[in-house]
Every structure is written in structure tokens, then in C-alpha cells.
Amino acid sequence: MRSDSIKKGLERTPHRALLYATGIPKSEMKKPFIGVATSFTDIIPGHISMNELGRFIEKGIHTGGGYPFFFGIPGICDGIAMGHKGMKYSLPSRELIADIIECIVEAHQFDGIVLLTNCDKITPGMLMAAARLDIPAIVLTAGPMLAGYYKGQRRNLTTDTFEAVGKFKKGLLTEQDIQALELCACPTAGSCQGMYTANTMACITEALGMSLPGVGATPAVMSEKRRLAFETGVKIVELVKNRITARKILTKEAFYNAITVDMALGGSTNTVLHIKAIANEAGIELPLEIFDEVSRKTPHIVNIIPSGEHYMEDLYRAGGIPAVLHRLKDKIYSNPTVSGIDIKEIARKAQIFDEDVVRPIEKAYHKEGGVAILKGNLAPDGAVVKQTAVSPKMLKFEGTARCFDSEEDAMKAILDGKIKEGDVIVIRYEGPSGGPGMREMLSPTSAITGMGLNESVALITDGRFSGGTRGPCIGHVSPEAAQGGPIALLKDGDRILIDIPKRKLEVKLSESELKKRAKEWKPPKPKIKKGYLLRYARMVSSADKGAILE
């Protein structure tokens, strides 16, 4: 066992003394040492239930014949960090999480690790660590939140708080409505109720084979989640004993399966960044184009908010990710999972309990999957759009550039009524290095939707979007503005063409004009001049590479 290096032999006498100081009984010293990385915190709704889940994981590890050691991992709530300086830290925290887990696991030589996670950057950060360390590992995502209710309708974070800002500005909601929605939109523990980044990553983790069947969609408040936590604890000891390490599961086939499920779900565009980053740690090259290739041949069969009307709790009752896998069983590859059951076998045995939530292939919501990769003279290295959240009339759009060098400036213009039909809002210098941190743009996109402009206005950015974004919003434009990408050369009044079916993102300027502007362009001064974000900006790659540190 790995842990023998800290507990066996005469020279490890002081190490054993320190271990005994933790209270470990002598009888337990021969058992596998299991690290439990928990991102419990009081400030993230998706994580407040983790202490209880941790108890069940602990019971499972003891039952399985291991000995658990818990350690903490930081977490950021993207919703609370949204729309201000705090969002600059969200994506960079993914790298910190991976590094922290690496440090703790290697320093203490755990034999295996349980990753207790839930929200946006925390889950991919933990999976990156598992792939990097290549030891036995298993993930438990804490589960989605249940819907709220107000005036007889189900309510959720994005539609009923972020988009409510724009609706209030348009006079469509009263102050009383706003106050009521604040209290009821997020009624329970759990990750936000739709197919936003946290829940998309939970579903993808299950599709990768890194969590037990049913984990991804089971709500946080269900007793079933506690049973899954117990089974997760038992299973990690089995993985250690059978020497099943993370990279034996995180194969190229596993990533293909995960992308296929992602496309079928119409998941968050952030998964493009995260899947590429996890694959990079697993030593697997995933070109950006593979997302588009898979999307073109994968039907969109599950339509959860924000693009649809269903909630994560509906997917849970319909059979969860196993039900989705069953529908896609002819499109996925055979691959091992942490459960010990091949993913194809899980798919074959699964049942579908609601044919509308998990639709048959021939009745898909869309013939293609959730994400499209666009290219053109405005994004030579690619850009990403959630095409299943775009109305048919906006799939092809030509408009006039309105350029802003920060999210705040764009948001002010939107709320002040300065954006008109036919505009293409350009938010730049918000990329991985230019932001720095590649902020999500849920506040401006939600304001656009709330003000009724999402079928007449488009938005492009070298930043990124929350999974809660809907409408013609194109992110991850690469190269980013801070690196002199074409998005930096745009001026107010330029004509921009968006053609999602043909995968085009272009500015109607000649090559000579773009070259002329490029010669005149000067790199901006760094927005952040100290601390972690300064170091991050110097090391981070472009979005098309997954915004990994190089």
C-alpha cells in the first residue's frame, strides 16, 4: 500500500506517533488509508449538506475495511461571485483545488481518495487531481437543489432572480415580487436546479464512470443520496484492493462517452473547458473540434432549464443518467466505471420512467447536441455557443458591434436601455489572461433575456457563460483580446455575422483592414498587479486549450 511509506518500518516510528496522536486505534493501522477531500462550506448552498454526507462516506469506508482521513478543499459559489471582482477567482480556483489535493495526497500517501464535491469549478478541479495522481479515486457530487414555488409556479435561481433584474427594469415585476422570489427561488440545499455547470459536471462525472450510477441527478435532500454516500465509502476500499486507479477509468472512450452525454443533455458550455482540462491531466489529447463532431451526431434528448421546462428533479425521477445512457447505448463505448460495472452494461440495464424527460431518439428536442464550435476571422481558434438554448430565428444573425472592455461597462449599458435591436454586444478583455480569470457573464445575459432582447440582440465575449445563460451568447472567443485576438480589433459599428448551423463567427472586414488594426493595437496594462491572479494571468493558456496552466 502507498500508506506503508508513512507507517511501516523502524524509521517510521515518529510518523506512527503522529498518526496515533490523531486518535487512530492500533488495530486500524494495517488498513488502507483513505483521504476524503470535502469542499464543505457554509456559504455555498450546494455544499451545506456535505457534513452529513461525509458521515455516511465515513461509515462506508469503515464498513469496507479502510480508515478515513478528512481534509478541506476551498469552494467558490459562482452565483454569489457573479457580476463583480469575485468572479475573476472562480475559474482560477479550479487549478488551486487540483494542486491542493495533489499536495495533501502526496504528502500523506493516501491509498485512495473520495472526492466530495458539487459546484462549478470544484468538481472539475477534483477530477483533474484524480487524473494527475492516478490513484484509486471516486467522486460523490452532493446533488441538485429542489425547485422553489411562487404564485403556483416552480421557481429557480436563473429565471427568477438573475433574469428578474431585467424584468423589474422593464416593469414586468413589482418590488414585492422581487423580495418574494429572493426567498423562495432556492429553497433547499443543493446545486442550482437546472442544467447549469454544477449539475452538468455531476452528470458528466457519472458518464465518465467516476461516480456510482444515480449520483449525478439524485437531489441533495433525498435519503438516497446518503445511501449513495455510504456505498461510495465502501467502494473506494474495493478500488484500492483491486488497484483500480483513476486513469484506468479515465480513458479516451470515457471522455467520448462524457461528451456524448453532455451533448444529449444540452449542458453548460463550461464543460468544454473542464473536460479538456481533465483529459489533459489524464494524458489524453482532446481537440476542440471533437465537441462539434460529437454534437453533430448526438441528438438533444433532455431539455432542462434554462433552455427547457424540466428541472433536475424531473431527470432524477425519470431515471437519472442511467436512463440517458440507456437511450444512448448504441452511441457510447464500453468502458470500466468505479462501480465495477461496464458503462454499456449500466446503460443496458437502466430503465426510463418518463419518456418526455428522456425522449426517444426519434423525438429529440433537436437533431444535434447542446454545443456548437464556431470559427471564422473573429475566432480563428474557436468559440463556443450553447446552440440548443438559442431560438430558431437567432441561429443566423447579423448585427452591429457595440464594444465594451469590461463586463461592468456592458451591464450598465444594458440596464440603462442603451442596447437596441440588431446590436451585437462585444465584451472583451475578460478572457483567461486578460480578465484575468475568464469571468462568467450571467448577469448581462440574464438582463438581456429579462428585458426581452434575447431574440433581437446577440453577445460575444472572450469570457465565458454560466450554464444558466440562454440565447445567442457566444463565449470562449479565441485568441482572446489580451493576446491580440481579432476580438480586440473590433470597433463600434462593425458588422458581425453569426451563423450557428454553418459554424461561422465573422466580422465583415477585409483581411487588410484587420492587419492594419492589428499593427495599431497595443497590449493593455494588466488589470491585476498582485497576488494569485497576477501569477495565473502569466501562466494560463487560451480557452481553446481548456484554460489550463502551462
Q: What angle do CA 173, 179, 180 make, to 5 degrees?
A: 90
Measured CA to CA in angstroms, residue 298 lies from 330, 369, 499, 502 at distances of 11, 5, 20, 17
Strand order in the sheet with 137-141: 67-72, 33-38, 112-117, 137-141
Q: Which three cell numbers stand for residue 491?
A: 470597433
Which of 466, 478, 510, 512 is the catalytic position? 466
**Residue 544, annotated as binding a ligand:** no
Active site residue 93: no
d(CA 36, CA 61): 10
Q: Which three cell numbers stand for residue 485?
A: 485576438
Strand pairing of 504-507 and 495-499? antiparallel
Cβ neighbours of residue 378 closer than 8 Å, sequence gap 6 or more: 460, 477, 486, 487, 490, 496, 505, 506, 507
**Residue 405, annotated as binding a ligand:** no
d(CA 421, CA 436): 30
Separation of CA 308 from chain center: 18
Cβ neighbours of residue 34 closer than 8 Å, sequence gap 6 or more: 61, 66, 67, 68, 69, 110, 111, 112, 113, 114, 233, 236, 237, 240
Contact 468, 442 (CB under 8 A): yes
**Residue 381, annotated as binding a ligand:** no
Beta strands in 387-430, from DSSP E residues, in sequence order: 396-404, 423-427
d(CA 117, CA 198): 10
Measured CA to CA in angstroms, residue 62 lies from 31, 213, 236 at distances of 10, 21, 11
Residue 185 phi, psi dihedral angles, 5° rounding: -65, -30
Q: Is 514 exposed, middle or buried (0-12, 13-18, 19+ CB in 10 A)?
A: middle
**117 has which bridge partners?**
141
> CA 284, 218, 268, 119: dihedral to nearest 10 degrees?
-80
Q: Which three cell numbers stand for residue 533?
A: 491572479
**Residue 440, annotated as binding a ligand:** yes
Instruction: Return the active site residues.
Output: 466
Q: Which residues are annotated as a binding site?
A: 78, 120-121, 440
Q: Which residues are annotated as a binding site for Mg(2+)?
A: 78, 120-121, 440
